[in-house]
Amino acid sequence: MTTTTKHTDQTHQQYVQNIEHRLRALETDFERLEAEADKSIKKPSEQLAEARKTFNEKRRELRTRLAKAESSAGSAWKEMKAGLDAAWTELSESFERARKVLPMKQTASKASAAH
């Protein structure tokens, strides 16, 4: 394995770990958002229900891409990275839409700000 290949593998691994870290932070923020919604709303709105559904779908999609990305290499990694970037953006946007339906007490998400 060449130095360049080792660096690429390390960068690949660091990128995946970074996405996983941000995903866990965003999931924590979303769980907090859901808990606030459950406490403050007797009957969740359709808008909030849709936001939950969308967030969960986007989260599953990102987790699937992460699992595939961990074992990808070379040109496949470049394609996977682009897909991960897109999936992260979609998940972050779905979180922001949910947050607008029911704003969190904290003003900003740590995970969203990390992107």
Q: What is the largest CA-CA distance in the chain?
A: 60
Contact yes or no for 62/84 (Cβ under 8 A): yes
pLDDT tens for residues 51-107? Answer: 889 999 999 999 999 998 888 878 888 888 999 999 999 999 999 988 887 655 543
Q: Which amino acid is at 91?
A: L
Residue 4 has pLDDT above 50, yes or no: no
For residue 77, give both structure tokens: 């990694």
Contact yes or no for 98/48 (Cβ under 8 A): yes
Is residue 109 very low, low, confident or very high in pLDDT (cuts 50, 70, 90)? very low
Position 57 scores a pLDDT of 96
Residue 108 has pLDDT above 80, yes or no: no
Model's pTM, two decimal places?
0.75
pLDDT tens for residues 45-59? Answer: 787 788 889 999 999
Residue 31 CA to residue 9 CA, distance in Å, equals: 33
